[in-house]
Structure 1
Amino acid sequence: MDKKATHGGKNAKRPKLVQMTFAVKQKGPKTCSQCGFNFFTCNTNDKISQHKRYHNEYLNGYEISTLKISKLKEIGKVINSHCVTINQEERKLSILLVSYRDTTTRKIIGTMLKMINNRWLNTPTEENKILDKVVLVISQPNTSKSTINKSYIVGITTTIPGPLDGFFMDIKTSNVDRLKVMQLNLGVSRIFVSQEYRRKGLALEMLESLRCHAIYGVALKKEEIGFSQPSGAGTLLISQWMSPATCIPVYDEV
């Protein structure tokens, strides 16, 4: 008999080690239908609390301190303020235009941008892009009697500076006509609004704030602003903003 084949032989292969899990009911990964967070139902409390945090941020916005709001207002410009009702409570909204080239701005909203890109928009990070003007929607308690005393960034739109090569994209077919090149003076890279604040016209208000205030002293034409790879919901939003329109201006995001 060949010695190599015997169990006690010097060169005998050892059986593979298999980790056994007892008394734990294994289930497949669960995806939250609202925030898209993936986790296993048998995860530790740390993972569950992590989902709770992301879920809350997706619904209500990115929490921000009063001190950071003051810093952003010092750096940027408040375009408009008004109130909305969220979950039967009145909240004060501020539309704020800031420059992402400012170091303080990047420190305050950099983490939020990464979270939005990676988790909710499922798009590449914008770290390597030269981001320019950013519009923020900040939600704060309207009165001292508010039950929710926290403040949040609930909307954000990022841009890159022009000039950019633009093309027209057909709204119905999503086909891009690359034979006709036009110059864009501003590119809109990302638009995001927290779920509880949607369908209140905030995305349209952010676009209009960019059109009128992104370039000092100049109100851009809507055709001078392009969009990067808009999704179905994004295309619907842009076509509503540019209405009536059969095509929308887009640019290639590198």
Structure 2
Amino acid sequence: MFQLSQNSVTVDFRRKKILPVLSKSGSAPKQQSILSNQTSEDSDNDAGQKRFGAVSCNVCGMLYTASNPEDETQHLLFHNQFISAVKYVGWKKERILAEYPDGRIIMVLPEDPKYALKKVDEIREMVDNDLGFQQAPLMCYSRTKTLLFISNDKKVVGCLIAEHIQWGYRVIEEKLPVIRSEEEKVRFERQKAWCCSTLPEPAICGISRIWVFSLMRRQKIASRMIECLRSNFIYGSYLSKEEIAFSDPTPDGKLFATQYCGTGQFLVYNFINGQNAT
């Protein structure tokens, strides 16, 4: 929802979690296909009774309500999609940008083999479902760069998709009310709407999507992917933080961008119709 004024645009990002899409066949996956990966939260307890209330799957990380048929169905759908998307068998030719003790970062370009592009499409679809909404389409697919963080156990636990842009818009940072704890601050940031200027500022790189598996967060995976992006987006150049804009960030994405950029007044893009890529 946009509320336009002469100097700023207000974006209400308190999105309701949308339900993951069905498989391409249009039917829900068979329950048996997930049983081998079933979590302790999902299974019956020692008394033969199913758990109730909110539980988190320790395989796909989805938070859902046990004993709620609709929630359990959506968990099955997302769980199967997640298992397929994050599995990484490895490729003979990988464009490795960085290696770490806990994994490596590779880059996939639009001219890469079809099997690599198919994996990126599969991951992007899963990421959109995990984020809870359908992201805006890429402006120019032929100029995108996709970074994947591959863990040592051959799983895709991080994804960053970047594209070339011309302009970004500065987030207008609001003063926080008197807040006693860090937890209250985070809760407030997640619930409030945010404003940004309508005055365009030059930008080079747009981060369309940035995702880290929920059970692998707070391990600097997203930060390391952005650092690699800044070094490899344009050959021979290292992008500054001022040259990067984030596409319509979620509440958690806004908190991350604020922390990474060192300010709540970072650049955003891709929420105003009609903006074109370079």
Q: 2: CA distance between counterparts of 1:252 and 1:125?
A: 10
1:138 aligns with 2:150: yes
Query: Is the 2:81–2:126 Cα contact (8 Å) retained in structure 1?
Result: no
Residue matched to 2:89: 65
Query: Is the 1:133–1:159 Cα contact (8 Å) retained in structure 2?
Result: yes
- Computed over aligned residues only, the root mean square deviation of the Cα atoms, in angstroms, reads 3.1
Tell me the TM-score normalised to structure 2 length: 0.60
Amino acid at match of 1:222: K
Q: Which runs of 5+ in 1 are unaligned?
A: 1-29, 85-92, 142-150
- Alignment partner of 1:70: what SS? coil
Amino acid at match of 1:234: G
Higher strand share: 1
1:35 aligns with 2:62: yes
Structure index of larger Rg: 1
Give the drift of 1:160: 1.6
Q: 2: CA distance between counterparts of 1:47 and 1:177?
A: 38
Residue matched to 1:185: 204
Residue matched to 1:120: 130
Give the drift of 1:83: 1.8
Give the drift of 1:172: 3.7
The partner residue of 1:166 within 162, 165, 168 is 168
Count of residue correspondences: 195
Query: Is the 2:87–2:156 Cα contact (8 Å) retained in structure 1?
Result: yes
Q: 1: CA distance between counterparts of 2:162 and 2:252?
A: 18
- Give the 3 Å change call, closer, same or farther, for CA 188–236 of structure 1 in structure 2: same
Residue matched to 2:157: 154
Query: Is the 2:64–2:75 Cα contact (8 Å) retained in structure 1?
Result: no
Deviations 1:45-66 (A, max 9, x none): 9988656535757xxx701113
- Give the 3 Å change call, closer, same or farther, for CA 49–62 of structure 1 in structure 2: same
Q: 1: CA distance between counterparts of 2:171 and 2:147?
A: 24
Deviations 1:80-109 (A, max 9, x none): 11123xxxxxxxx01112214535232122
Percent of aligned pairs with the same amino acid: 22
Tell me the TM-score normalised to structure 1 length: 0.65
Q: 2: CA distance between counterparts of 1:177 and 1:120?
A: 29
Q: How does 1:19-58 map to 2 (within 5 A)?
A: 33=56, 34-36=61-63, 50=77, 52-54=79-81
Q: 1: CA distance between counterparts of 2:119 and 2:83?
A: 19
